[in-house]
Amino acid sequence: MAATASTAVAAVLAAAGKTHKTAIALIPPRSVWAPLQEVRCFNDKSFVRWPPHVNLLYPFLDSQHFPAAAQAAAEALRSFKPFQVTLCEPSFFEHGRSCTLWLCPGSPSGELLAVQAALERAFPHCTDLSSDSGRGITAFTPHLSLGQWRTRADVEAAAAQLAAGWSPLSFEVAGVGLIARQGFEDPFRLEWFVPLDGGEPVAVGAPYIATVGDSACSPAPAGEGNAGSNSSGDARWRAFFGIGAEQEDGSVWQFAYGANMCPRKLNGARGLHPLESLPASLPGWRLAFTHRGGMGNLVQLAPGEPGPAGLGAVHGVLHRLSAADYGRLCCMEHEYRPVEVAVQPYGSDAPVPAVAFVSPQERLIADGLPPPQRYLQLLQEGSTHWQLDPVYTAWLGGLQGVDTRGDAYYTGATSGQPLAAWPKIRTGSQPQRGGQQGRRRQGQQRRGRQGQPGGQ
């Protein structure tokens, strides 16, 4: 009977087509993500959509075939045991018009190559990563991509800079993930986890939530507060996608303290529709207008340091967003780092793990410059709409904005040098010279200098 079932599964999988919206991948545990995400955040166009990963089979089968594919993968990997991998020296690929910087998973890599070969034998029509004459691929090269650079000189400089301060990251490979996305701009979801100890595959259904740095929120214990509660107590997959900001239905709390407090901006211009919204505060932080262009930013207070109006907290709105809407918001929040924080909803004693957008330290402008007037009006409108703390609302209402921004709004506070706009790498765009795309970007930059509101 088992042989008949395996034959039937094999027949179904052999007839299935492939798609670039699915993959079998090795995903490092979140405990080693921080240095990877720091590099990927502003350099990898796939940061919002893909977790840190090493693709083993890509493209892969349509997700409708995942239950059968997970069983086939488990059978192929049944003889393997968990093993150690170390992300060591950087290297790069050259493409037609760009270069990709990546880390080599070595020390040792023999087990990983054997796992990939076993999966290819189970899915013999999914050999694109080991044999693709159109791309010059003749053998599988395991790699974890960190970002894209325009020229060989650029990527060589990035690789040298990374290598100078890189500490090898070692972790245990306990299994592989079958991941899928609905649309090409949507974040991937860990749909199935296939362990390497001979256990049965686990249906998960947890989305990737793009964040940077060490989590300020602890993952929920097994069986609590995360998607995929049908895991029968098997919590190994939670090491990959289990973050505190993620809710049971796969949504994520995002703390808005700037323009996104205003429904007119969030629902109208940005087209995002939270599943629910709550007024809240972020203790131990203050609002500063130190993001490039004078937009809002979060600054952590020193112990005992008073915040604006003596409140010692930033007030704003918790929006619960779908994973897809959160991904879209990440792409809109240009030059911000998504960081996990603990936020206090009004009327509740329990903090809520959430994600807030914070400016990189090296990109800050001088503190104390008045914000753009149109941007400030959005904050004031949002604060009034959500009936935020009256002292905080009065403080916002008493601020004065400016209609014209000078060079100080685009000059680094520490370096004293102009802060050139970064390309919007998260949306997949690349810097261009001339042409329609280049002219469009120049127009956007001119509008930004004339007071177009944006940012948190």
The reply to whether 117 and 13 lie within a common domain is yes
426 pLDDT exceeds 90? Answer: no
Q: What single-letter amino acid sits at 173?
A: V
Euclidean distance between CA atoms 193 and 74, whole angstroms: 9
Last residue of a domain, one of 181, 206, 223: 223
Handedness of CA 115, 117, 120, 126 (dihedral sign): positive
In whole angstroms, give the CA distance from residue 129 to residue 447. Answer: 43
Is-contact 240 221, C-beta < 8 A?
no
Asked if the bond preceding 108 is cis, omega within 30° of 0, the reply is: yes
Question: CA–CA separation, 183 vs 399, rounded Å?
Answer: 42
Residue 453 has pLDDT above 90, yes or no: no
Cα–Cα dist 259/453, whole Å? 8
State whether 286 and 189 are in the same domain: no
Within a domain: 308: yes
Which of 175, 206, 223 represents a domain boundary (last residue)?
A: 223
* pLDDT interval class at 308 (50, 70, 90): confident
- The torsion angles phi and psi of 25, rounded to 5 degrees, stand at -140, 155
Residue 4 has pLDDT above 50, yes or no: no
Q: Is the pLDDT of residue 442 over 80?
A: no
Residues 6+ apart with CB under 8 A from 194: 70, 73, 74, 77, 175, 176, 177, 178, 201, 202
Instruction: Check whether residue 401 and residue 262 sit in a common domain.
Output: yes
The yes-or-no verdict on residue 82 having pLDDT over 60 is: yes
pLDDT band, residue 216 (cuts 50/70/90): very low
Q: Does pLDDT of 294 surpass 90?
A: yes
**Can you read off the two tokens belonging to residue 61?**
């089968």
Q: 31-35, 207-211, 227-231, 347-351: lowest mean pLDDT where?
A: 227-231
Once rounded to an integer, what is the mean pLDDT over residues 220-233? Answer: 37
Average pLDDT of the segment spanning 317-331:
95
Report d(CA 70, CA 202) in Å as an integer. Answer: 8
Block residue for tokens 């994600």:
355
Contacts of 363 (CB under 8 A, 6+ apart): 291, 292, 335, 412, 419
What is the gyration radius of the CA atoms in the chain, in angstroms?
Answer: 23
In a domain, 15, yes or no: yes
Peptide bond connecting 59 to the previous residue in cis, omega within 30 degrees of 0: yes
Both 213 and 292 in one domain: the answer is no
In this structure, what are the phi and psi dihedrals at residue 398, rounded to the nearest 5 degrees? Answer: -90, -5
Average pLDDT over residues 373-379: 98
Six token digits for residue 161: 């800079």
Amino acid, res. 61: L
In whole angstroms, what is the distance from residue 144 CA to residue 233 CA?
A: 30
**158 and 33 within one domain:** yes
Q: What is the pLDDT of residue 107?
A: 59
Distance CA 332, CA 271 (A): 11
Same domain, 217 and 279: no
- 382: pLDDT strictly greater than 70: yes
189 & 291 share domain: no
If you count them, how many residues does the chain have?
456
Residue 54 and residue 181 in one domain: yes
Could you tell me what percent of the chain has a pLDDT over 90? 70
What does the pLDDT read at residue 306? 87
The amino acid present at 77, given as its one-letter code, is L
297 in the same domain as 444: yes
- Using the predicted structure, report yes or no on whether residue 138 has a pLDDT greater than 90: no
| In a domain? residue 237 | no
Please give the Cα distance from 35 to 106 (Å, whole number).
17
Span 267-294, mean pLDDT?
Answer: 96
Same domain, 217 and 258: no
* Whole-Å CA distances, 98 to 58, 149, 190, 311, 435: 20, 6, 29, 48, 18
Written as one string, the DSSP assignment of 428-439 is T----SSHHHHH
Residue 186 and residue 118 share a domain: yes
Is residue 342 situated within a structural domain? yes
Note the pLDDT of residue 425: 79
Q: Tell me which of 126-135, 197-206, 268-277, 300-309 is least confident.
A: 126-135
* pLDDT at residue 83 is higher than 70: yes
137 confidence band (pLDDT: 50, 70, 90): confident
CA neighbor of 83 nearest in space, from 158, 176, 155, 1: 176
Report yes or no on 454 lying in a domain: no
- What does the pLDDT read at residue 430? 40
> Which position has the higher pLDDT, 450 or 195?
195
- pLDDT confidence of 250, banded at 50, 70, 90? confident
Residue 56's φ and ψ, nearest 5 degrees, are: -105, -40
Model confidence over 113-132: pLDDT tens digits?
A: 999 999 999 999 999 999 87
Mean predicted lDDT score pLDDT of the chain: 86
Give, in order, the Cα–Cα distances in Å from 429 to each of 147, 248, 446. Answer: 13, 33, 18
What is the residue whose two structure tokens read 């027949």? 11
**Do residues 402 and 296 share a domain?**
yes
Angle 338-105-147 from CA coordinates, rounded to 5°: 40
Domain count for the chain, please give it. 2
Q: Is residue 240 part of a domain?
A: no
Indicate whether 322 pLDDT > 90: yes
Range of the domain at 276: 252-449
Please name the helix (run of DSSP H) or strand (run of DSSP E) that holds residue 66, with its range, or none. helix 66-76
62-73 pLDDT, tens digit per residue, is 999 999 999 999
Identify whether 233 is part of a domain: no
CATH number of the domain encompassing residue 321:
3.10.490.10
Residue 313, helix vs strand vs coil: strand
**238 within a domain of the structure (yes/no):** no
